[in-house]
Amino acid sequence: MEGAFLSGQLLISMPGISDPRFERTLILVCAHDPEHAMGLAVNRPVEGLTVPDLLEKLEIKSTIHVPPHLVLLGGPVERERGFVLHTDDYKGEFSLRVGPGVGLTATREVLEAMASEDHPRRSVLALGYAGWGAGQLEEEIRQNVWLTCEADEALVFDEDYSTKWSRALAKLGIDPKFLGSTAGRA
């Protein structure tokens, strides 16, 4: 892990994770450096809360039909704060490149773009985020709390939330039914 930063990678929670908020969770790492890491869960929909509902609550008028995609729970930190993961065809002034083809923006302007002809080709809106302090994520990976895999557009943006975790494991050649809740060391 020395010198390896995980921005743009997916974290796959392992069975037996000690924090139930992350059980069977898939997190896109949006920022990672020696001081911190930040990511958004991409498979935790908030039942009953859609993007058009949230735009309406924020008094953002739509000039197009906004699909009724569910809002995601990005993580337990600052759950009142919104983040938009989007394809890199949208480039706002404060957008951050997360990885190949994916950006992150946390401004009202991206919400207004989502409600207009200037919308990103694909996007997800998440409330809250997951965060780690210096070295914390690296230590959790060493303790087999998380596996990592390459992100792809389907795992980040599609709405088949219930299968994203197992599909990410399949990218690594792992069948979830063979995973146990305890890890060993050789």
Q: What is the pLDDT of residues 83-142, one digit of tens each?
A: 999 999 999 999 999 999 999 999 999 999 999 999 999 999 999 999 999 999 999 999
Q: Where are the alpha helices (DSSP H) in 35-107?
A: 51-57
- pTM for the predicted model, two decimal places: 0.91
Neighbours of 43 (CB within 10 A): 23
Higher-pLDDT residue of 183 and 65 is 65
| Residue 177 confidence class, pLDDT cut points 50, 70, 90 | confident
Q: Is 3.40.1740.10 the CATH number for 9-178?
A: yes
How far are the Cα atoms of 23, 56, 159 from residue 37, in angstroms, in the given order?
A: 19, 31, 25
User: How many angstroms separate the CA atoms of 74 and 19, rounded?
Assistant: 15
Region 153-178 average pLDDT: 92
Instruction: Quote the pLDDT of residue 2.
Output: 40
User: How many angstroms separate the CA atoms of 142 and 123, rounded?
Assistant: 32
At residue 118, the 3 state secondary structure works out as coil
> Percent of the chain at pLDDT above 90?
86
